[in-house]
Amino acid sequence: MLFGVGIVLLVLLELSSPGAVPGPCQCSTLRASLLRVNCSSQKLTEVPLVPVETEELHLQNNLMTRVPDRYFDTLQNLRMVSLSGNPFRCDCGIQYLRSWLRKNRALIPVMPTCASPDALVNKAIHELDNSDLSSCSPDHSCPGGVYNAILGFMLCTLIALLFWSLRLAKDLTYILRICEKHAGFEAESLKSRKPKHRRTVQRAADMMDELEQPLLNMEILPPITDVLRKKHNKIKEV
């Protein structure tokens, strides 16, 4: 019993692996390690998982309404993809396929068209514009848009921090220069200035010298007194 369950699980795992191809699809070798996978007209409602070595992928004339996001990103060897004849619904879920078709037109022999809604019937998917999908978020039409936005924000933040650091360093340098100049000026002032108490003592000494000097020259005093006595007789001898 357990052996039988193990076999079933192995089969399911094999079918669900990325390299597995549904039974109705046919694989044929084009060149060494490159494959042609033909899943056309198999009434498939979902895009099958195919080997990463697939070079030609035929999915036309099925019942698929959408292609999952990033489905073609791992199929780097693709040279031709046929998607025509599927009833694709052109709503928000079609934006990845629209973007991929626009970038890889050379790989598509016949461009797939919309089967719904009614306003977009028979319109080529790669020709859909933003007005046709106006109710959708722009992130769907730009794979990796959120990652790019976050990366851009982080880069801008890093640049802003760098400029802020440079400006802070410049301001600090300017302040240090001002402090150095101020300190040097104070040192020179201290050297050139004399202490206050010395200036006070010197001034007091000068004043004493002035007081000790006579107000008049005593040698010319006798002639002056003789003249005044003779003319005015106002000065009496003592």
The matching CATH number, chosen from 3.40.50.2300, 3.80.10.10, 1.10.3720.10, 3.40.1160.10, for 18-143 is 3.80.10.10
Chain centroid to CA 82: how far? Answer: 40
Write down the residue that tokens 């001034």 correspond to: 203
- The dihedral of CA 67, 71, 73, 78: what is its sign? negative
Q: Is cis: bond before 87, omega within 30 of 0?
A: no
142 contacts: CB under 8 Å, gap ≥ 6: 99, 148
Write down the residue that tokens 């004493």 correspond to: 208
pTM given for the model: 0.50
Give me the pLDDT at residue 171, please.
72
Rounded Cα distance between 196 and 147, Å, is: 74
Mean pLDDT of each 10-residue bin along the chain, 238 residues long? 41 42 73 85 93 94 95 93 96 94 95 94 93 71 64 88 83 66 61 58 68 60 72 55
